[in-house]
Structure 1
C-alpha cells in the first residue's frame, strides 16, 4: 500500500520512516496540501496531512475524484479539514489526539517564563557584554492566579505544572475534571471570571465555529493590565487586530503564542529572504512584550515518535477494516 505524506519536514521524516518498519511504501513531499498540490495524490488511496494543510471542500472533492479514500492527520487539531464534507463524500479520517500533551503544556510554560523573566533580552545583553539587570524585572509565579481555559489532555497537564509553582488555579471546561479539583485545588468558574481575575490565562481548547475569536475586544477589555495571555492551541482563538489594539494601549501585560491565525503561506517555511505581506503579523512582532514561536510546541523527540506511531495505527485499523479509536465521525464536524 502506498501512502503520500504532505508537508513532510526533514526533522520528522526519520520518525515516520522508523515507525513504518518497512510495512508501507511511503512518499514524502514538503509541499502542503492545497488546490495546486492535490494532484500529487494521484495513485494513492491514503494520504497523511499536517495541521497547516488545506483540506477544504474543493480539495476534498478533488482528492476523492483522484481515488484517495483515507486521510490521517499528524496533529490533534482537525479544524483544517472540512469534516462534514469529508464524511459525506465517504472518506475515513483520523487524527493523533494523544501524541504528547506534555510537549505542548511544557512549551506554554517555557513561553511564559521566557517572557516574564526577560530571558531573550538578558541573553542579548550578556552577548554584548552588558551585565546590568536594568529592565529585567519579572514576577514570581508562586501565589499568582492562573486561568486555564480547557482542562483536557493538555490543559490538565498545564494545571498540574502551574499547581507545582504554587499558583491558584481557576479553570473553565464543558466537562470539569473532579480529579483536578481534588488534587490541584482547581476552581471551575465562568470565562468572564477568568478574564477578570487571572494574572495569567492559558488557552488549551480546539478551534471550533463556536469559539472562533474567543478572545476578542470585549474579552480583552475585561483583563487587567497585568495579565499575560498564552496561546498554544490555535491562532484564530484570538482576534489579532483586537490583541494589537490592547497591546498598544497597555491593556494587557503580554502575549505568548506558538500559533497565529493566518499561518498559511508564512509558517513552516523560511521567509527570511522574502518580505512578509501580513501587516498584522509584522505589527505583532514589533512588541517587546510579545513572544511568538513558529508552531514548534510539538517538536520534541517523544511527540514526533508518538505522532508517527499513532499515524500507522490509524492506517493499520483501516486496512484491517476496523474503526480505530482516533476515527473522526460526522458528529465531530461541528465540534
Structure 2
C-alpha cells in the first residue's frame, strides 16, 4: 500500500512536532499549511487523499465539493467539535469524516478552573503589580469559591470533569444537560432545568457543543435570568454567547466577571501573533478593555497530554479509514 498523502491546514509548530513523532509507525506523507482552509486555499489540495483540519477551518458544502473533485476521501478533524463541517455534504460526496471525540477532558476542565481562580482572586493583576514593585492589596479583594453554587451547562466528558473538580472545592454544583449522567448524580451533582441553573448559580460555566439549538444560548434573556454579580465562563465554543449582549451585561454590572477561551469571531484572531497589527475587531477590543474580563486564545486544550492524544487518535483514525475499518472511540462522523 502506497503511503497516503495528508494535507494539514491551520498547522502550527506544535502540530508538526507531535504529528511528526507519532506518524513514524504509519509513514504518511504529511504536508503542513499554516493558513486555514477556505475558498482562498482549497485549490492547494493536489494529490492528497486526506485533509486534516482544526476548529476554525471552514469545511462547508462549497469546500467539500472542491475537495471531492480533487480526490479527497477523508476529512480528519484533530479536535472534538465539528460544527464547522457540513456533514451532509460530505456524505453526499462519499467523503469520510472523523474526529477526536475526547483527548484530555481534564485539560479543558482544569483551564476553566484556572480562569475562574484568576478572575475571582485577581492573580493576573497581582502578578503585574509585583513586577512593578507595587505590593499593595488595594483593588485585589476576591471571594471564596468554597460554599458557592456553580452552574454547569453540559456534562459531557469536559463538563463532568469540571463538576468533579468544583465539588472538591466544596461547592454546590448544579447541572443542566439533555442527558443527565447518573455517575455525576451519585457524586452529588444536582441536575435542574436550564432556567433553574442560571438563576441560582454564582458561577456559570459552559461545556456544551455549538449547534443550532445552542447558538447564542447566552443572550439578553438568559443573562437576565442570572443573579446580579454572576461570573460566566466559556471554554467551549464562542458562538454560545451573544457577545454584544454580554458586553451590555458587563456595562450594567449585572455580569460581574467574564472569562472566555473562545470567541465567536476568533478565526480572524486566535492562533496568530498580531502584536504588531491594528486589530479591527472593535468587539474584542471592547471586551478586553474591561478589568473584569479575562481572555485566553483557545488555549484550554493545550497540554502535552492532549496534543499527544490528538496526534495519536487522528492518525489512527485515518489509518483505519484507509483500510476500510471504522475508527475507534466513536471517532467516525460520516
Category of TM-score, reference length = shorter chain: over 0.9
Alignment counterpart, residue 139 of structure 2, candidates 132, 135, 139: 135
Residue in 2 that maps onto 1:216: 219
Alignment counterpart, residue 74 of structure 1, candidates 75, 78, 88: 78
Cα distance in structure 2, aligned partners of 1:265 and 1:290: 20
Query: Bigger CA drift: 303-312 or 269-278?
Result: 269-278
Cα distance in structure 1, aligned partners of 2:12 and 2:215: 28
Deviation at 1:27, TM superposition (A): 0.8
Q: What secondary structure, in the 3-state scheme, does the structure 1 residue paired with 2:7 have?
A: strand
Cα distance in structure 2, aligned partners of 1:105 and 1:266: 23
Cα distance in structure 2, aligned partners of 1:228 and 1:265: 26
Q: What secondary structure, in the 3-state scheme, does the structure 2 residue paired with 1:304 have?
A: helix
Cα distance in structure 1, aligned partners of 2:300 and 2:152: 18
> Are residue 273 (structure 1) and residue 276 (structure 2) matched?
yes
Residue in 2 that maps onto 1:255: 258
Instruction: Name structure 1 gaps, 5 residues minimum.
Output: 330-335
Residue in 1 that maps onto 2:41: 37
Cα distance in structure 2, aligned partners of 1:178 and 1:265: 40
Cα distance in structure 1, aligned partners of 2:94 and 2:252: 50
Residue in 2 that maps onto 1:328: 333
Query: Bigger CA drift: 61-70 or 242-251?
Result: 61-70
Q: What secondary structure, in the 3-state scheme, does the structure 1 residue paired with 2:85 have?
A: coil
- In the superposition, the TM-score normalised over structure 2's length comes to 0.97
Deviation at 1:12, TM superposition (A): 2.2
> Are residue 60 (structure 1) and residue 52 (structure 2) matched?
no
Cα distance in structure 2, aligned partners of 1:145 and 1:193: 12
Runs of 4+ in 1 over 3 A off after TM superposition: none
Residue in 2 that maps onto 1:332: none
Deviation at 1:124, TM superposition (A): 1.1
Residue in 1 that maps onto 2:306: 303
Matches within 5 A, 1:59-208: 59-183=63-187, 185-208=188-211
RMSD of aligned Cα (Å): 0.9
- Alignment: residue pair count: 328
> Are residue 240 (structure 1) and residue 243 (structure 2) matched?
yes
